[in-house]
């Protein structure tokens, strides 16, 4: 495993009743409100993870993979597009006395799954800084490609902002054979980079109920979807 030399800060995250200790470094995505929402949503539905085989797409620091293991997942394979990020996730697993089954450096868009299917796909998809003109591409592909990883009855669980269009996601889930429920919802202030990301606020104004302005402050809604692949 490559040693990460950048400065690290140990941060503790409480997803009642679990405390996850994460060494943050410049390589890995720092857990954001989307990540907090996903963790809180996961603890609402422990049965989704208990005894299940799970794959996390874009695991970042490993915070959700570690939580899945604490919730009793039988095994979890993690993927990220960056090897350095995967190494941070591995170090964080050690920090929390858990381990992943496989860690893959893979681009989700060209990822052929192992022959064995998983019971759960877990993801906090990038959105605002998705790196493509269509910021929803990762969400769309996550929904579409989950078929390759799941058997009927399998779960896809992910977090999303209102700015990424809940209606579109729900339509895509239905079209791709999922039934869905929202297992966690919260509202929060915009992050500073929303205002500096070119075009982001203007695009979000076109999204039905994309955001609210309360007392002059910009507020997004975050939802955690639990989608079940129909037979």
Q: Residue 84 CB, nearest distance to ligand SAM (Å)?
A: 9
The correct pick among 35, 41, 154, 210 for binding ligand SAM (CB under 6 A) is 35
Span 122-181, contacts to ligand SAM by CB under 6 A: 124, 126
Paired tokens of 25: 């470094």
User: What is the separation, in whole angstroms, between the first and last Cα of the chain?
Assistant: 41
The correct pick among 24, 48, 78, 85 for binding ligand SAM (CB under 6 A) is 85
Q: How many residues belong to the chain? A: 231
- Omega before 17 cis (within 30°)? yes
Separation CA 34–CA 144 (nearest Å): 21
- For ligand SAM, the closer of residues 62 and 152 by Cβ is 62
Span 41-80, contacts to ligand SAM by CB under 6 A: 57-61, 63-64, 79-80
- For ligand SAM, the closer of residues 75 and 145 by Cβ is 145
The correct pick among 18, 108, 137, 194 for binding ligand SAM (CB under 6 A) is 108
Paired tokens of 208: 């039905």
Nearest-10 crossing angle of helices 63-70, 83-95: 40
| Size of the residue set binding ligand SAM (CB under 6 A) | 20
Separation CA 80–CA 126 (nearest Å): 12
Q: What binding mask, one character per residue, do residues 1-30 give for ligand SAM by CB under 6 A, x or -?
A: ----------------------------x-
Closest-CA residue to 140 (of 125, 154, 155, 128) = 125
DSSP 147: G
The binding site for ligand SAM (CB under 6 A) comprises 29, 31, 35, 57-61, 63-64, 79-82, 85, 107-109, 124, 126
């Amino acid at each position: 495993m490559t040693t990460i030399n950048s400065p690290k800060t140990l941060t503790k995250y409480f997803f009642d009743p679990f405390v996850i200790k994460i060494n943050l470094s410049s390589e890995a995505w720092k857990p954001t409100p989307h990540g907090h929402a996903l963790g809180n949503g996961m603890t609402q539905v422990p049965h989704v993870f208990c005894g299940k085989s799970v794959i996390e797409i874009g695991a970042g620091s490993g915070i959700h993979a570690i939580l899945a293991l604490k919730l009793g997942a039988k095994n979890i394979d993690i993927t990220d597009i960056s090897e350095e990020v995967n190494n941070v996730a591995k170090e964080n697993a050690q920090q929390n006395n858990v381990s992943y089954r496989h860690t893959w450096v893979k681009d989700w868009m060209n990822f052929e799954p192992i022959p064995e299917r998983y019971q759960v796909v877990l993801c906090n998809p990038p959105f605002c800084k998705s790196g493509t003109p269509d910021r929803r591409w990762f969400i769309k592909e996550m929904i579409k490609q989950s078929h390759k990883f799941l058997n009927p009855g399998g779960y896809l669980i992910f977090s999303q902002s209102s700015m990424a269009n809940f209606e579109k996601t729900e339509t895509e889930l239905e079209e791709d054979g999922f039934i869905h429920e929202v297992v966690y919802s919260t509202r929060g202030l915009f992050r500073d980079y929303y205002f500096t990301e070119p075009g982001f606020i203007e695009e979000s104004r076109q999204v039905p109920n994309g955001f609210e302005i309360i007392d002059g402050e910009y507020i997004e809604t975050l939802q955690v979807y639990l989608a079940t692949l129909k037979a």
